[in-house]
Amino acid sequence: MDNRKVIAIVGLGLLGGSLGLALRDRGFHRIGWSRRPVTCSDALAIGAVDEAPASLEDAIKAADITVLATPLAPTVDILREQALNWRRGCLVTDLGSLKHQIVTAAAAAFQGTGVNFVGSHPMAGTEKSGLEFAFPELYSNADVFLCPAPGCSREAVRVMADFWELLSCRIYEMDSERHDQLVARTSHVLHILASVLARSILRSDSAKEQRERFCGCATGFRDISRIAASSPAMWREIIELNQSAVLIAMKDFEQEYFYVKDLIERGDFDAYEQCFDEGRRLRNQWVAYKQKEASGRQH
């Protein structure tokens, strides 16, 4: 083995595979592990990893940094079952879209072991899943939330920040509970709405009416419903584990929705136009913010 820093990527789907591709020629020796040997072989074939040990234990024992790119429940299981296989002084992170449960499990698993855990949530992804959809630009210019476990060293947080900045990401450190409340509003509710819209617009008992609805949907429907194609099992797990925060975010959306519905029912289209304009302006501000951040990274 060479003298480069060793990174183990556990889970070689869209997120793990894309990370491996992004880290190629970045000064790391990339070890990859998946429970399916064929996935490991495929990852080697496309250059997403340099090495694919037969066992999870071998992968994490060799790693300076381990990235758990697995679903939420398996991530927690790995932390609990493999805690003593990581070397003292190494760094562990994950890519999960929920942080509090994982950070709590990591704090308990690594207590007294000298292993540092800094949860990561890169705001990047697509509606696809699987290694075949991995691509190296997935994380480019993404915002990444870092949620350190209690007792984690500040040096470990700095190393994790440097790691993501190497991939042109922007770093935001945040408490894990606050993180889960935030993403309930900015991500989780969006997936619920996309799914509900797809069902309410396209579902019909009449084949003729359904064909008409299919014909009547164009790019606007495509854009707003894209994430309805995401994994149902994954989103069942996320919503179930973040239930309370999701319900609060849904209630806030309901207030906005019924406010606009009331304006339309009352025929107050001046107020409706102002409301629509506010949404347009806020969306344009968000786009400008993202463009400015991306431009700053490029320079």
Domain boundary among 174, 202, 226: 174
Q: Quick one: pLDDT at residue 282? A: 97
For the cut 50, the answer to whether the pLDDT of residue 166 exceeds it is: yes
Residues 223 and 249 occupy one common structural domain:
yes
Residues 206 and 102 occupy one common structural domain:
no
What distances in angstroms separate CA 186 from CA 70, 74, 181, 183, one per listed residue? 22, 24, 9, 5
Residues 221 and 243 occupy one common structural domain:
yes
CB distance 171 to 146 below 8 Å: yes
**Residue 145's CB: how many other CB atoms inside 10 A?**
23
For the cut 60, the answer to whether the pLDDT of residue 2 exceeds it is: no
d(CA 61, CA 75): 17
Residues 197 and 247 occupy one common structural domain:
yes
For the cut 60, the answer to whether the pLDDT of residue 199 exceeds it is: yes
CB distance 117 to 74 below 8 Å: no
The predicted model gives 110-135 an average pLDDT of 94
Domain boundary among 127, 149, 174: 174
Residue 127's pLDDT band (boundaries 50, 70, 90)?
A: confident
CB distance 175 to 99 below 8 Å: no
Residues 62 and 196 occupy one common structural domain:
no
**What share of the chain in percent tops pLDDT 70?**
98
Tell me which residue of 85, 144, 150 sits closest to 116, measured CA to CA. Answer: 150
Token pair in block for residue 289:
């913010």
For the cut 60, the answer to whether the pLDDT of residue 184 exceeds it is: yes
d(CA 126, CA 225): 12
Chain-centre distance of CA 255, in angstroms?
A: 27
What distances in angstroms separate CA 159 from CA 4, 20, 182, one per listed residue? 15, 18, 24
The predicted model gives 37-63 an average pLDDT of 96
Q: Is residue 273 part of a domain?
A: no
Q: Is residue 141 part of a domain?
A: yes
Residues 23 and 108 occupy one common structural domain:
yes
For the cut 60, the answer to whether the pLDDT of residue 1 exceeds it is: no
Q: Quick one: pLDDT at residue 298? A: 59
| Coil vs helix vs strand at 212 | helix
d(CA 275, CA 278): 5
Domain boundary among 174, 201, 228: 174
Residues 121 and 143 occupy one common structural domain:
yes
For the stretch 255-296, pLDDT in tens is: 999 999 999 999 999 999 999 999 999 999 999 998 888 777
pTM confidence score: 0.89
Residues 95 and 157 occupy one common structural domain:
yes
Residues 148 and 201 occupy one common structural domain:
no
For the cut 80, the answer to whether the pLDDT of residue 158 exceeds it is: yes
Q: Quick one: pLDDT at residue 295? A: 76
Q: Quick one: pLDDT at residue 292? A: 86
Q: Is residue 99 part of a domain?
A: yes
For the cut 70, the answer to whether the pLDDT of residue 297 exceeds it is: no
| Coil vs helix vs strand at 49 | coil
Mean per-residue pLDDT of the chain: 95
For the cut 80, the answer to whether the pLDDT of residue 299 exceeds it is: no
Helices (H), the chain: 14-22, 37-46, 56-61, 72-82, 100-109, 154-165, 176-183, 189-202, 207-216, 219-225, 232-241, 243-266, 269-298
- Domain range spanning residue 129? 5-174
Count of domains forming the chain: 2
CATH code for the domain in which residue 137 is found:
3.40.50.720
Residues 186 and 239 occupy one common structural domain:
yes
For the stretch 55-110, pLDDT in tens is: 999 999 999 999 999 999 999 999 999 999 999 999 999 999 999 999 999 999 99
Residues 168 and 187 occupy one common structural domain:
no
For the cut 50, the answer to whether the pLDDT of residue 203 exceeds it is: yes
CB distance 70 to 78 below 8 Å: yes
d(CA 75, CA 53): 19
Residues 13 and 149 occupy one common structural domain:
yes
